[in-house]
Chain A
Amino acid sequence: MLDARGSAAAAAAPLLAVQGLTKRYGGLVAAKDITFQIGAGEILGLIGPNGSGKSTVMQVIMGIQRPNAGAVRVRGVDVAGWPSHRIAQQGVGIVFQHSRPLHRQTVLENIMLGLLPDKLLKLVADRHVRERARAIAERVGLGGVLDRKPGTLPFADLRRMELAKAIARDPKVVLIDEPFAGLTASEMDSFARLVADFRADGRAVLLVDHNVKSLAALADRVFAMYLGERIAEGTAEEVTRDPTVRRVYLGGGIDVAKRPPRAAGDAPILQVENVSVLYGKAQALEGVSLHVHQGESVSVVGLNGAGKTTLFNAISGLVPYNGRIVWNGEELHGRSAAAIARSGIVQCPETRELFGDLDVRENLDLAGQHLPAPEASRQLEWLYLLFPRLRDRERQIARTMSGGEQQMLAIARSLMMRPKLLILDEPTLGLAPVILEQISNALEQLRSTTSITVLLGEQNVTFALPHADRIYVLDHARIVWEGEPSCFAAEAAATYL
């Protein structure tokens, strides 16, 4: 009986060996000097928050991006810089985060595609192709839906089809991006078993995800990244206990400063009732309810893919939803996104959405167009006091500014509209600690000098806690915890990482 977990990996040379991998996008270093190996019958978990570089690493391995430096050896052959199709032919299969079926073809045909050779004159498929496709479909659990089109399948089956396509060529290396996103608990179990089967086949599997928790049961080893660099490597327990990892995800010790008491209003000004959102087949939000009082600062905490952005987009009227959202006593359903913004709910999105080719002043002026001129200039002055850096860079083109400065501009631009409710989606993403402090101070000032209501979405708990009167924890499209910051450490933190 071969114990696939240990001896196979130790005995053979690694199937996938990444060495010194570096990838730059202009001035941004997405991945720096990444080195790891995966042997046959091994599962490596690659984790990191958004912007950590894990997706970049995966894309480089598959040839979707070309590295600036480093080697990627698949069964000893360096494939770094090769085009995707050659890397696939060399024995690497990939399951993308988002399913990409051919909508006009049946499930069987979709899988057969993965079995076809890259030849121009294949007018007739080899006899065994159909049989093999059927066998693979049975293996992943799609035996009963072979003649259906992808549009009629549930979400989990689409993910199964992606798995089937990836292993069709019998790759020695399998890359899987966010294997469990959008799945229910029972679906996760059956998927985990499928992935474990890949390991039993003797393949090398790379699982890419946001946090250790989801991979802990499957991964033999975990490799953690942050801001493009390796921060920890080891077993799942070792990585969970690693102090750097804890600081990145939880911020080390979570001590919450005593907040000055606020006279919050009685009735909530924003009420989200049982809201659900479907993106195609994926359940992005399920039965989410929350409320925010006038003057409160509420944080919605959750990892990537938990549904924070979807929630904010529903409130801002950017995506359709089921359920009720009530603002100042009025239902928001049916109002245009621009009208909702004008009525006082202003969102500063995760992607910032700046006008890259315009300068700082022009970005701010656009936001202030709805205000009468004297008010607009007063608001501008106040914002320059809040973010002095912006005054210094008043005429600088937005897209040439650093990440931190762009974030400040994005927040300032939202504030320029004098919102009653400011929604901040992941303002600290990918920013250096020193900038975090500045933004943190600005938020504090906001809170102490104005009556603005803030809804903050963050995966960085250290940042979110001191700024919150109340916290909601969002996990896999559902609210799983609600309470005060002081209780968070005791009750919720354990399950968070």
Chain B
Amino acid sequence: MLAVQILIDGFAISALYGLGAVGFTLMFGVSGVLNLAHGATMVVAAVTAWVVAGQYAANPWVAAIAGTAAGVITAFATYYLVVRPIQRSRSVPAAEKEIFVLTGTLLWGIMIQEAVAYFYTDNPKTVQPLIAGVMQIGGVRTPINELLIAVICWTVIGLLWLLVNRSKAGKVLLAASINPRALTLLGFELSQVYLQVWAIYGVLAGIAGVLLATFLGASSAQASQLTASAFSIVVLGGLGSVSGSLLAAYVVGYLETLTAYLISPAYRTVPALILLVVVIYVRPHGLLGRR
């Protein structure tokens, strides 16, 4: 029974990690930005959902949509207020733009985190499960919400796959991650491509944040931990590789679940960290990364 429990819990948490990580790696692959305000973006989505559900007594689905919208707005704010000004700045030498964007998004993330804590405290916020109730799977009582999370995550990932591989706009995004200069030569405005990426990122991070709130709860204090997790998973899978992120999310998710159940919840993050160290030294471009 423990095995089934681990299997199910691990699957759900990995799916959630996967959704967050996919957004993060897509952002890096297409626009080269490592958004360190990632966790904060998820938290904003989670807290917005909580506020809408609580203060406006809306049903959880409406709250979820509100939360996702908040994620998109936060993403655009990050782009227009922080990332774009730095990328266009003439006082920052080109070679240092990356570290400035990193520091800038880091600071911006802290600002968001503190603002959320100020208005809503840093207590964990939970949102009612989207679908209440439990069901029996292999003799284990599992909240239906947990399964729903896995379903939603994979559906969204599936839609993303369809978008990138089957739609015209998606192909342009894919091409941008391979060779942005070539896109310009073919008459595509890169600025529009980047806008699209930030929008998609906002949706992904928003949904991930809302689902997290229904599952484990989210608090502003977790923002940096969420960013760090996404970052590690993405590096493990290979910076810029979406399938790599998914694979790594499952590796990390199951490692954590196994450790929590079999050893102790306090050591949850250790095996994944050790794996990350090994990967960085042995295969820095990650499990499925290029080069």
Give Cα distance in the complex from A318 to B184, angstroms.
9
Docked-complex contact B172 and A316, CB < 8 angstroms = no
Contact of A355 among B168, B179, B190 (CB under 8 A): B179
Instruction: Report if A365-B171 is in contact (Cβ < 8 Å); known contacts: A316-B185, A337-B185, A338-B187.
Output: yes
Q: How many residues of A contact B (CB 8 A)?
A: 25
Going nearest first, the 6 A-B pairs with the smallest beta carbon separation are A341-B187, A353-B182, A342-B187, A338-B189, A337-B184, A355-B178
List, in ascending order, chain B residues with CB within 8 A of A316's CB.
185
- Name A17-44 residues within 8 Å CB distance of B: none
Binds B, one of A106-114, A231-239, A356-364, A487-495: A356-364
Docked-complex contact B186 and A417, CB < 8 angstroms = yes
Binds B, one of A270-278, A366-374, A435-443, A471-479: A366-374
Give Cα distance in the complex from A318 to B189, angstroms.
13
Is B175 among interface residues, defined by CB-CB distance under 8 A? yes
Docked-complex contact A341 and B184, CB < 8 angstroms = yes
Give Cα distance in the complex from A89 to B41, angstroms.
53
Minimum CB–CB distance from A97 to chain B (whole Å) comes to 19
Closest A residue to B191 by CB, please name it.
Answer: A336
Docked-complex contact A369 and B182, CB < 8 angstroms = no
Contact of B179 among A336, A354, A417 (CB under 8 A): A354
Docked-complex contact B182 and A417, CB < 8 angstroms = no
Quick one: which of B172, B184, B186, B190 has the most chain A CB within 10 A?
A: B186
Closest B residue to A357 by CB, please name it.
Answer: B178
Docked-complex contact A356 and B179, CB < 8 angstroms = yes
Instruction: Report if A341-B185 is in contact (Cβ < 8 Å); known contacts: A366-B171, A369-B172.
Output: yes
List, in ascending order, chain A residues with CB within 8 A of B172's CB.
366, 369
Closest A residue to B190 by CB, please name it.
Answer: A338
Taking A316-B185, A337-B184, A341-B187 as given, write out 13 further A-B residue pairs in contact, using a Cβ cutoff of 8 Å, ordered by the A residue number: A338-B183, A338-B190, A339-B189, A346-B187, A353-B179, A353-B181, A356-B179, A366-B172, A366-B183, A369-B168, A369-B172, A413-B186, A417-B187
Minimum CB–CB distance from A401 to chain B (whole Å) comes to 15
List, in ascending order, chain B residues with CB within 8 A of A353's CB.
179, 181-182, 185
Give Cα distance in the complex from A349 to B179, angstroms.
13
Give Cα distance in the complex from A318 to B171, angstroms.
23
Docked-complex contact A336 and B189, CB < 8 angstroms = yes
Give Cα distance in the complex from A138 to B188, angstroms.
52
Docked-complex contact A367 and B186, CB < 8 angstroms = yes
Contact of B175 among A341, A342, A358, A370 (CB under 8 A): A358
Interface residues as binary, B45-66 with A (CB distance below 8 Å gives 1, 0 otherwise): 0000000000000000000000
Quick one: which of A346, A349, A353, A413 has the most chain B CB within 10 A?
A: A353
Is B33 among interface residues, defined by CB-CB distance under 8 A? no
Minimum CB–CB distance from B194 to chain A (whole Å) comes to 13
Docked-complex contact A362 and B184, CB < 8 angstroms = no
List, in ascending order, chain A residues with CB within 8 A of B186's CB.
341, 366-367, 413, 417
Minimum CB–CB distance from B88 to chain A (whole Å) comes to 14
Is A347 among interface residues, defined by CB-CB distance under 8 A? yes
The DSSP consensus for interface residues of chain B is helix
Interface residues as binary, B151-193 with A (CB distance below 8 Å gives 1, 0 otherwise): 0000000000000000010011011001101111111111000
Give Cα distance in the complex from A336 to B190, angstroms.
10
Quick one: which of A337, A346, A347 has the most chain B CB within 10 A?
A: A337
Closest B residue to A344 by CB, please name it.
Answer: B187
Give Cα distance in the complex from A354 to B190, angstroms.
16
Instruction: Report if A346-B179 is in contact (Cβ < 8 Å); known contacts: A338-B190, A362-B171.
Output: no
Minimum CB–CB distance from B86 to chain A (whole Å) comes to 21
Give Cα distance in the complex from A367 to B182, angstroms.
10
Contact of A338 among B168, B171, B188 (CB under 8 A): B188
Closest B residue to A346 by CB, please name it.
Answer: B185
Minimum CB–CB distance from A425 to chain B (whole Å) comes to 11
List, in ascending order, chain B residues with CB within 8 A of A413's CB.
186
Minimum CB–CB distance from A409 to chain B (whole Å) comes to 12
Give Cα distance in the complex from A356 to B291, angstroms.
13
List, in ascending order, chain B residues with CB within 8 A of A339's CB.
187, 189
Give Cα distance in the complex from A369 to B179, angstroms.
17
Give Cα distance in the complex from A337 to B189, angstroms.
8
List, in ascending order, chain B residues with CB within 8 A of A367's CB.
186
Closest A residue to B93 by CB, please name it.
Answer: A103
Docked-complex contact A366 and B175, CB < 8 angstroms = yes
Docked-complex contact B189 and A349, CB < 8 angstroms = no
List, in ascending order, chain A residues with CB within 8 A of B184's CB.
318, 337-338, 341
Give Cα distance in the complex from A452 to B42, angstroms.
52
List, in ascending order, chain A residues with CB within 8 A of B174's CB.
358
> What would be 5 A-B contacts, judged by CB atoms less than 8 Å apart?
A349-B185, A353-B182, A355-B182, A356-B179, A362-B171
Quick one: which of B183, B187, B290 has the most chain A CB within 10 A?
A: B187
Closest A residue to B176 by CB, please name it.
Answer: A355
Give Cα distance in the complex from A316 to B175, angstroms.
20
Instruction: Report if A355-B181 is in contact (Cβ < 8 Å); known contacts: A336-B189, A341-B187.
Output: no
Give Cα distance in the complex from A365 to B181, angstroms.
17
Give Cα distance in the complex from A339 to B184, angstroms.
9
Minimum CB–CB distance from A458 to chain B (whole Å) comes to 19
List, in ascending order, chain B residues with CB within 8 A of A362's CB.
171
Give Cα distance in the complex from A349 to B188, angstroms.
16
Docked-complex contact A347 and B185, CB < 8 angstroms = yes
Give Cα distance in the complex from A413 to B183, angstroms.
11
Give Cα distance in the complex from A342 to B185, angstroms.
9
Minimum CB–CB distance from B252 to chain A (whole Å) comes to 26
Minimum CB–CB distance from B162 to chain A (whole Å) comes to 16
Give Cα distance in the complex from A358 to B164, angstroms.
13
Give Cα distance in the complex from A366 to B168, angstroms.
8
Give Cα distance in the complex from A366 to B187, angstroms.
10
Give Cα distance in the complex from A342 to B189, angstroms.
10
List, in ascending order, chain A residues with CB within 8 A of B290's CB.
357
Minimum CB–CB distance from B78 to chain A (whole Å) comes to 24
Minimum CB–CB distance from A168 to chain B (whole Å) comes to 25
- Name B120-156 residues within 8 Å CB distance of A: none
Docked-complex contact B185 and A354, CB < 8 angstroms = no
Closest A residue to B188 by CB, please name it.
Answer: A338
- Name B218-235 residues within 8 Å CB distance of A: none
Give Cα distance in the complex from A146 to B189, angstroms.
46
Minimum CB–CB distance from A187 to chain B (whole Å) comes to 28
